Amino acid sequence: MLVDPTQLLDDCERAWREVGEPSAGGVEPAAAVRTALVLEALVAYRLLADHSDLPRDTVFTRWPACAVHTVALADGPELPRLVAEAHARVLAARPDLGSHGAAPESAGEWSRAAHEAARSLGWTWRAPTAVDDSVAPSRMPAPPPELRLGPGAGSVLLTLPGEPDAGDWQLSADGEVFAVRPPYWVLPGPVRRVEATDPTGTTHLSAVVDPDAALLAFDADGHRITPDEPLPAAEISLLHAGALQTEGTDSGVVELPTPYGWNGWTLSRVSLTGVTRVRASAAVPGSWLDVAAGRPLGWEGGATLPWITGDDGAPVWHRPPALRLPRRAGEPDARLWQADVRRPGHEEPLAGHTGSPGVLLDPWKDVPRPLLGPYEILVHRVGSRRRRRLAAFLAEGLTAEPTAEWRLLAPHGGLAPARLTLGTGGPVTASAHAVAFSPYEIAKRLVLDDGVRQFAVEVRIPHSEVRLELGGRPLTWYIRPLDIDAADLAGESALTVRLPEQAVAVTPLLALVVEGTTLHTLRPERRTRTRRGDLRYSLAALMDTVRDCVKAEIRLLVAGESIHVGTVRTQPIAEDVVPDGGGLLLRGLRHPGELTARLYAVFAPWEQPLTATVDQSGRIPLPSAWRSLGPLIVHLNAGAPTPPTPGWPRLRDRDTLVLRRAQWTSAAGHGTGAGVSEYLAGRGELPRGTDAIPYQWIVAARGRDLQACGARETAPAECRSALADAGPTALTGAADSALRSGELASVLAGSGLAALRIREVADPAAVRHVWRQAPLCALLLTAPLLPYLSGDLAYDVGELYQEEEELLGEVSQFLGDAAMALLAGHADPSRTVGRFDAQTRALDQLPELQQQAVWRSARVVPRGLLDPDTRADAAWQAFRARRDLQYHATREEFRDGLDAVSIFLDDGHPDLAQAFRGRDPGQLHGPGEAWMRVPQLSLGCALIARLAAAGDARAAGLERGLRHLWTPVASHAPDLTAVDIALAECLVTAEAVHSTG
């Protein structure tokens, strides 16, 4: 018999009110069953309240006796488990109740609500203390990461809550995989989204760049302003692609240097007072962001210490600020706001306040003193669950006094020494009363203590620094003289110097000095909208002057001083690397300044590279574990180490050295990785099985370089064969390889996995994991479901399970809008992108500087794999490898392969044949242009492979015959191969849908 939950709760409410307060003692079996039913009914109605945007506690207000007896009979230690199980049962029966973003249940919240319910009934009963305030397992998930500007706005950070010792976070940024530790991760460039999995296994999704808007907004403290909120009418920072456009009164705009990795973007400090809306010129038409009328939510008053910041660069308030509640124009005073103060990662509020819109609150008056460490304020309308978050790091009563407001560059490198004196009051103490900075120190850590807790902060004084731009790409800031390879001057190179604004009253000059003689001087670019103290000098004019010099100095002439800011060299950093006792020694070292080395193990290419500092004699110390790893690849980098990025070094880079003859005894540790290392060293067989698949992917992708550095010659071919034998399991295992889509594509082509037939999606949950880590392989695993994106009546999305629909949602995120048009049967909107034709021939005749200018805008805004910018970037990669591709394209069988593809497609595949002919470069001007046919062969091979995957036996035979032609092309142009595999899948799916319809 079905039970009406409302009737059940009403009946129990009357019965338990008559019984009175719950008594101590055991629970009868009948009462236990009744309690479980009541608990489940209460959870269901709380979820319904969420769904209707009503306060959850209205459920406890309506049935207070049910709340009290349920919590009492559930027993304190058992309450988290029982509530969690009831929550899961309700969502299993009504999954639509979870689609509204319902928060998980908290046992502590139930206990507090039951205590309030007892008080409302006049009972003296108190709720038992729950062992765990969360229904989650024993470890609490970390708060979600936050996007913010780094110190000095020189980078974009994703702050990671928790302690570094808690374990690694696994990040997936548009399919690129990183393993990082708190407190933050520096984004290497624009990405659409980052999926961050904390050490407890909880995954947080952070949307970064919306390609349609191409604009990110940050408040005065550097915290990201969420995209779904209007911008405040205040001074903020905007990171945007293209020019900034505003409506309303003219905004005051000051352009700041572009953050690390965000080439093609502009960081502007903008006052939006009087501005009604704003957009970036690179955004799609109509993508305006509104500026809020009225008062925005934010801090007012208070004071920060400009020399002290939190771990993530957040300012430290020594005089706590007041909180201005938001107010829209015409908003009535009756719509109250609630502001709750708490510690990050804790649910229990420290204080709560209610106020009318626009009112100024003191949120700290009821917070226990002393005010020290990070706090967050959650602000929401009374009765609404949608919350907005403000964060602040407080150190009430702390004082700091520097010996200089700004540290200038010293003539021979580094900065002028300085000192910061600290003062504390009350119970707050600092680990040092004075902090001294030597010439090469820009920041020091300090610990603040209130007698109970300790918090680490960073101390730094604003200082001068220099930064190099290569190919339009900004590198990191340095205080040491820069090392500049003369070959880089051929590209779009520039040097930016940051000075105090008062130092540029007389324009500083940049001088090229050789053996004490000034050969050339440069004036800074005239950039009227930039900060006055940031001077940018284009270095392209120096290229001809330094051509015949072994080494030249770049000096800044400012305020009567000649400051060494860079060295230009025309030779490699070092000639060779050799073993030297417990480390390595660079021979023929030509770099006198700071130098770092990143080392990669040839027999363990999956290991994270080791970053080491090179001393003045050229020696690189090695940990004992690295002294017996065998051959090493050593990539040298002038200056401090840059944030690590995934990938593999280019062996052709003249600052990449290889130590081929190095000691190797046996693989470190045990397990599959050790077995693959021994195999690469020439001992034993290639390990097989599921655990070995990620290692096989890495060896197959980087096999050419591994062979050149001394690894087993047959390793790449044997790994490709092993992956082909593994079939769909190999595609799933790619998620643990941490390879880029381009690297995966080259293996898909060479192993035959690009032609693997997948008949059904047997395990959507497993494929969802692959979408996060290896999206190109996930696309092939999802191929059986792609017809449901065509819009054809024969493929009704309503037939799919929810997990399958989620997989289809990933397709548009990865491939972009062009893929949706192709799957719907429309013409390829970007069919000309990626073809080498007469325009490419003209580009080949230009100097490299002008070639880069043509392609510079590609992928400024991150888009889907099949969108025009991404395709253009892939074509640019293939164009740069044209000399390598020319060798393969001149072979007679290359032309035979093109003919074979053309004949096959003309016989029954007219739409695919048309796409294939669209890549034809036309009449060539001699055999020296054979490389221009490579994109056509690449697409042709991809089309044949995907036809084979669709079940065409003739295509499967042709694919095996073409594989030896496709494999070298894919290794030299991996990104083009990735584009073509995805493009071919969409074209083949659309053809299949059309033919069945």
Which positions ≥6 away from 794 have C-beta within 8 Å? Answer: 787, 993, 996, 997
Residue whose entry in the numeric block shows the structure tokens 């390990």: 687
Instruction: Sheet with 244-248: list strands edge to edge.
Output: 244-248, 275-280, 289-290
Establish how many alpha carbons lie within 13 A of residue 458's alpha carbon, considering only the half-sphere containing its beta carbon: 16
Which positions ≥6 away from 697 have C-beta within 8 Å? Answer: 719, 723, 730, 733, 734, 737, 739, 744, 747
* 342: helix, strand or coil: strand
Token couple for 883: 């000399």
- Closest by CA position to 110, among listed 59, 161, 62, 153: 59
Which positions ≥6 away from 458 have C-beta within 8 Å? Answer: 151, 308, 309, 310, 311, 313, 443, 444, 445, 446
- Closest by CA position to 129, among listed 148, 110, 147: 110
Strands 327-328 and 337-342: unpaired
Q: Calculate the CA 23 to chain-centre distance.
A: 54
Q: Give the CA dihedral 163, 164, 166, 169, nearest 10 degrees.
A: 110
- Closest by CA position to 134, among listed 202, 53, 191: 202
| Interior/surface letters 323-353, b for 16+ CB within 10 angstroms, e for the rest | bbbbbeeeeeeeeebbbbbbebeeeebebeb
β-strand partners of 620: 584
Residue ranges in the chain modelled with pLDDT below 70 = 1-3, 24-32, 51-55, 74-77, 96-104, 106, 108, 127-142, 165, 592, 639-646, 666-669, 846-859, 997
Using CA atoms, how far apart are residues 339 and 352, in angstroms rounded to an integer? 6
Look up the pTM and report it.
0.78
Strands 561-569 and 482-485: parallel
Using CA atoms, how far apart are residues 732 and 724, in angstroms rounded to an integer? 13
Q: Calculate the CA 637 to chain-centre distance.
A: 23
Please check whether residue 655 is in contact with residue 635, taking contact to mean a CB–CB distance below 8 angstroms.
yes
Please check whether residue 484 is in contact with residue 468, taking contact to mean a CB–CB distance below 8 angstroms.
yes
What's the pLDDT at 815? 92
What's the pLDDT at 168? 82
Give the C-alpha distances (Å, rounded to integers) separating 103 from 99, 170, 265, 506, 828: 11, 23, 36, 59, 42
Using CA atoms, how far apart are residues 137 and 146, in angstroms rounded to an integer? 24
Bond into 64 cis (ω within 30): no
Secondary structure of 795-824 in the HEC alphabet? Answer: CCHHHCCHHHHHHHHHHHHHHCHHHHHHHC
Burial of 793 (0-12, 13-18, 19+ CB in 10 A): exposed
Token couple for 138: 């024993």
In this predicted model, what pLDDT tens digit does every residue of 642-658 receive, in sequence order? 665 657 888 888 889 99
Cβ contacts of 90-93, under 8 Å, gap ≥ 24: 90/40, 90/43, 90/44, 90/47, 91/47
Phi-psi sector, 649: left (phi>0), alpha (psi -120 to 50), beta: beta
Cβ contacts of 896-900, under 8 Å, gap ≥ 24: 897/937, 897/940, 897/941, 897/961, 897/962, 897/965, 898/933, 898/936, 898/937, 898/940, 900/958, 900/961, 900/962
